[in-house]
Structure 1
Amino acid sequence: MTDSTRLSNGSPVSWPSHWHSAPLWSMFERVKDVNHPDEDLLSVYRDHGVVRREARADNFNKAALDRNIYQLVHPGWFVVNRMKAWQGSVGISLFRGIVSGHYICFRPTHHEHDRFLNWLLRSGPYTAEYASLSRGVRPNQVEIDNEWLRSLRIVLPPLEEQRRIADFLDAETARIDRLASLYSQLTSLLTEREHAVRDSIVEKLHSNYGTIPLRRLITRIDQGSSPQCEAIPRQVEADWGVLRLSAVKQGRFEASENKRLPDHELPDKSYALKRGDFLVTRANTPNLVGDVAVVNEDPHHLLLPDLIYRVRPSDGVSADFLAQVALGRRVRSFIASVARGSSQSMVKLRGEDIRDWPIPHVPEDQQSKLVREVAQQTDSSARLQGTVKRQLTLLAERRQALITAAVTGQFDVTTANGRNVTEGVSP
């Protein structure tokens, strides 16, 4: 039997009838314990909960100089990133350490199972609930507050059942994560092979034709702009969007998700994208800044953003050729040497930096030959990478579906065969 219980103001979720619920305020109390600068630094990650900062090589955020403003938490404490709770950046800490002073930290007053609560409070239904409780004008500016969290209903099975669910999820998600890690390693190997093939071809061109700066092969570089609001709102002639930085990635143009320009903002059509445009990211993380792509479709009312340059090749110069060369080791090394920034999480390129890229001085007919040769050598790798990435996406979806099914009591983990459950749960 199941029972429909609302977590707070959201949609009801079906739970087993023998489970009970309690408001968050009856299980946790808000505590802000600062002035512990010598404790280990912790962070809250969307997919991992509370982690040690030193354990995450992908954490480029710098710690504040004054660590006295950080909050001390202990094992069992509930930690909420108030700005990113709607994305699932919450967790029960398994560690003692300090977290951002802007987080919301709760000391436990209950005797429930910590590992079960960690799975439950990071599950899909609760992430959706944090989103419904958050307030703000834009997605990257929304916040959740302690007062809004107090009424959150925490639905709990008996204590022994909590332990069984936590043990099951620890084992099953570890198995899924190992498989995902193997897929990720395969993706890395395929990427390395693709780069090696491209580098070999491009280096032969440098040797055969010599090298010149990119400035001799282009007419101009346009920097995108952030659209400005009109003083008097008015309807634009059509729906316009602004390209996301992520649309330019490793030589491929993927404009499936873009930012929509509000109706009251007029588009500057001089920044409208066209098929054949050669794009270069102006700012990004150190390994992605200067990434390139050629617009290979007819973009519908899409504007160039301020974090992307549009490079205009001269007559007789192929944008696809420039993109392939820019993905090569020689240009990537040059970018690494000139990119600058005050943070490891964001570095920038100047237009002048791009104009100095070393490019082989190849005749137009040989440019097309290079593009075809690279495509022939890398297409099979690219197709396999696409298959692997789809599998990774499917694994992530099934992992989340399995967690949600387990913490909402959709099956009995004591009799479930983990492999069959994982394959049978719909993402």
Structure 2
Amino acid sequence: MNASVFDPRSFSVPGDYKFVRLGYVARLQNGLTVDAKRDITGDVVTRPYLRVANVQAGSLNLESVAEITVPRSVARRSMLRPGDVLMTEGGDLDKLGRGTVWQGELEGCLHQNHIFAIRPDPQHLVGRYLAYLTQSLYGRCYFESTGTKTTNLASTNSSKIQSFPLPLPPLEKQCYIVDYLDSETSRIGNLVRVQRELLEKLQERRAAGVVAAVSGAIGPDRERRDSTLAWLETVPAHWSEVGIGLVARMGSGHTPSRSHPEWWVDCTIPWITTGEVRQVRDDRQEVISETREKISQLGLENSAAELHPAGTVVLCRTASAGYSGVMGTAMTTSQDFATWTCGPKLDPYYLLWCLRAMRDDLLGRLAMGSTHKTIYVPDLQMLRIPLPPVEEQREIVSQIRRQNTKIDTLVDAANHQLALLAERRQALITAAVTGQLDVTSAPRDALA
């Protein structure tokens, strides 16, 4: 099935199916527009309301549900009812039209205008069948081929949703299909949960191993001890604890002005921005070897930008605050970074893993701001690390790499299993809702 050219007539369905446009067997309800200038005087009510982030494919995320105050008449027009199928208008291309059934989880809940509430005609369409159909490969091909695409986002609209051609079996068969899929997808869901729990434990083990290694809780010729970020309580006697500034020269970045166009000609000098830090977010990559941005020698010489040598440790202070890497070649950085150029007593990769060990605990407490986290330079200047002899630092780095390689192999295997389960789930749904899999032969008691 080709998502770029969608033709429902080319898809074979059983003889008791018929193609019906969604608008003929369901009513579409638009949501409310969140407008700061809306009238909140007179007869108003405050109600919970769903946003796109709350609607997943086949489920709801209700951990964070906003509230809104609107006139009672507006609330009445955009109130959800149990049995409504929620379909999203925009976002990533693969999320267009994703559907799930509203079961009345929140009393009096409203929905924003980027979510459509589809109210099926109970004599012709089962809501759960429609939700499964939107999750099938058939549904995904329709919405991805008809969606309007921009650089970063995609969108659909009410006309395209109402024009969605449903391969519609008789009502009784729809009920049979959704019962079967509820049972089978529940089994798959249990397997998914097991793999996700495994991934969580592997990531915890990976992080704990790094902390234990750089704090001296484990290492060459030493038994494992209780690991903690209280460095002085755990470091071996022949180690010291020092401020990073005593063994490395700290610097900060600078963004050259774009108001000097002559600085941005013949740009050859790598310049790290926050985009490069995304590559090291899973801590597998240590070295930043390439950058998307570059500056010229003229720009470097006439601005406050500083060229750091290869091996300089760089830490992001904003956006991906706390994430770090090592420069693979001489580079400059934007003002969003702090840098450390290590002296002879400090291996840069050992410092890198110390910073990563501190990220969730110490750096997490230093990052200020509710929406956009920032770590300020004076706080970073106060950081202290445990310091073994430099040869031992290098052995610790090698040890971290060995143990992480083993764990990452297991993480890759678990992620591969999750991908296979997702593929299996979609294939099963697609086969069932389009009649390629005859589920009516399954006994009813097997679907419980």
Name the CA distance, whole Å, in 2 between partners of 1:396 and 1:109: 30
Q: Within 5 A, what are the aligned runs for 1:296-307?
A: none
Partner of 1:422: none
Structure-2-length-normalised TM-score: 0.70
Q: Percent identity?
A: 22
Give the secondary-structure state (helix, strand or coil) at the position aligned to 1:53.
Answer: coil
Give a deviation string over 1:51-81, Cα, whole Å, max 9, x none.
2513xxxx5xx72554667732112323232
AA of the residue aligned to 1:63: A
Alignment correspondent of 2:99: 91
Q: Does 1:319 align with 2:316?
A: no
Superposed displacement of residue 368, structure 1:
0.7
Instruction: Give the CA deviation at 1:275.
Output: 8.1
The change in CA–CA distance for 1:332 and 1:342 in structure 2 (over 3 A counts) is: closer
Task: Report the Cα distance in structure 2 between the residues aligned to 1:375 and 1:268, rounded to whole angstroms.
Answer: 33
Whole-angstrom CA distance in 2 between matches of 1:149 and 1:250? 38
State the distance in 1 between where 2:309 and 2:145 align.
38
2:228 aligned partner: none
Deviation at residue 385 of structure 1 after TM alignment: 2.1
* 8 Å Cα contact 1:223/1:310 also seen in 2: no
Gaps of 5+ in 1: 418-427
**1:147–1:40 Cα change, 3 Å:** closer
Q: Find the partner of 1:53 among 41, 62, 72.
A: 62
Partner of 1:30: 28
Shift in Å, 1:351: 4.4
Distance, in Å, in 2 between the alignment partners of 1:153 and 1:340 is 50
Question: 1:86 is matched by which residue type in structure 2?
Answer: L
Q: 2:438 aligned with 1:412, yes or no?
A: yes
Give the aligned partner of residue 152 of structure 2: 139
Distance 2:162 2:326 in 1: 50
Match of 1:195 among 207, 216, 240: 207
Partner-residue secondary structure (3-state), 2:396:
helix
The aligned residue for residue 290 of structure 1 is 322
Return closer, same or farther for 1:294/1:131 CA change in 2, 3 Å cut-off: farther
Distance 1:85 1:323, change over 3 A: closer
- Using a 3 Å threshold, how does the CA distance of structure 1 residues 218 and 332 change in structure 2: closer, same or farther? farther
Deviation at 1:336, TM superposition (A): 2.0
1:214 aligns with 2:221: no
1:267: how far off?
5.2
Amino acid of the residue matched to residue 73 of structure 1?
A: L
Q: CA–CA distance in 2 between the matches of 1:125 and 1:38?
A: 35
Partner of 1:10: 6
How big is the shift at 1:399? 1.8
* 1:312–1:76 CA distance, 2 compared to 1 (3 A): same
Q: Secondary structure at the match of 1:51?
A: coil
Distance 1:30 1:254, change over 3 A: farther
1:108 Cα deviation after fit: 2.8
Kindly indicate whether the alpha-carbon contact (under 8 Å) linking 1:49 and 1:122 is maintained by their aligned counterparts in 2. yes
Label 1:279 to 1:384 Cα distance change in 2 as closer, same or farther (>3 A). farther
Residues 186, 106 of structure 1: alpha-carbon distance in 2 compared, 3 angstrom cutoff: closer
Aligned to 1:423: none
Which residue does the alignment assign to 1:340?
368
**Pick aligned residue for 2:131 from 118, 127, 144:** 118
Contact kept, 8 Å, 1:40 with 1:52, in 2: the verdict is no
Check 1:72–1:275 CA distance in 2 against 1; reply closer, same or farther (3 A cut): farther
Offset at residue 166 of structure 1 (A):
1.1
Residues 144, 392 of structure 1: CA spacing in aligned structure 2 closer, same or farther, 3 A cutoff?
same
Q: CA offset at residue 118 of structure 1?
A: 0.9
Deviates more, 1:88-97 or 1:35-44: 35-44
Which moves more between the two structures, 199-208 or 162-171? 199-208
Q: Is the 8 A contact 1:250 1:292 kept in 2?
A: no
What residue number does 1:398 align with?
424
**Higher CA-based Rg:** 2
- Per-residue deviation, 1:371: 0.4
Find out whether 1:252 has 2:284 as its counterpart: yes
| Structure 1 match to 2:227 | none
- 1:178 equivalent to 2:174? Answer no
Please give the root-mean-square deviation of Cα atoms over the aligned residues, in Å. Answer: 4.4
Q: Is the 8 A contact 1:212 1:358 kept in 2?
A: yes
Give yes or no for the alignment of 1:81 onto 2:84: no
- Return the offset for 1:340: 2.1
Given candidates 408, 417, 427, the residue that maps to 1:382 is: 408
Structure 1 position 20, deviation (Å)? 0.9
Q: What letter is aligned with 2:66?
A: A
Partner of 2:169: 157
Separation (CA, whole Å) in 2 of partners of 1:226 and 1:122: 48
Cα distance, 1:213 vs structure 2: 3.5
Moved more, 268-277 or 391-400: 268-277
1:420 corresponds in structure 2 to none
Structure 2 unpaired stretches of 5+: 33-43, 217-230, 444-448
- How big is the shift at 1:273? 12
Q: Which residue of 2 aligns with 1:72?
A: 79
Give the letter for the 1:358 counterpart: R
- How far apart are the structure 2 equivalents of 1:304 and 1:11? 50
